[in-house]
Every structure is written in structure tokens, then in C-alpha cells.
Amino acid sequence: MVDDLLVLAPSHEPPAGFAARTLALGAGAVYQGTSGGRRLAGSYRAVLAQGNGSFFAAALLKSPAGTLGSVFGYQGQPSWLFATLNRPAARRP
């Protein structure tokens, strides 16, 4: 199939500036596709700056039996650690 596609490709060079325009289009698509993530990251940075913080993290608390809960940590003024624990499943008789 690859050989068939090569036969369909034009036999002449692309017009001047084609590669630059293609790269610019790809970069624009990536920039547009990641705009939501950049907005969210900017929001997080603003919240950390407001509380004089530099770090926020979250992780699951796991055991061999499954997820026990979550832990959250904040390095700012004041620093804090917060944990949530899942209620164990009720045992059936």
C-alpha cells in the first residue's frame, strides 16, 4: 500500500514556503489544542501565588485491597496536608 501511495505523490517539488507554512499550521494547531491546559495551569499559578505557595500535590492512598483514599499537600503559608479515606464496603452476611 505504501508503494501505491508513493505513485500518487506529485513528481515535482512543492511551492516555495510550503514547508514553513505547513510547520506554522501544525504549530498553530498544537497551540490551539493545548490552550485549555495553559489556561488551567495559569489559574493554578495564580491561586498558588495568592497563598504564597509554591507546590500543590495529590495522590491516591492504595493498599493491596484497593484504593483507601486520597492525600493532598500544599507548600505555602501555612503548609498543610489533608487526607480523605474511603468508607470500607459493607460486608454481606
pLDDT level of residue 72 (50, 70, 90 thresholds)? very high
| Per-residue pLDDT tens digits for 4-58 | 766 676 677 777 887 888 888 888 888 788 888 888 888 888 877 877 777 888 9
Domain coordinates in residue numbering, the chain: 14-50, 53-93
Per the DSSP assignment, residues forming a β-bridge with 55 are: 75
Residue 52's pLDDT is 78
Q: Calculate the alpha carbon distances from 68 to 72, 76, 84, 88 in Å.
A: 14, 26, 8, 8
pTM of the model: 0.47
Single out the residue of 38, 44, 43 nearest to residue 57, CA to CA.
44
- Which residue type occupies 60? L
pLDDT level of residue 93 (50, 70, 90 thresholds)? low
- Which residue type occupies 76? G
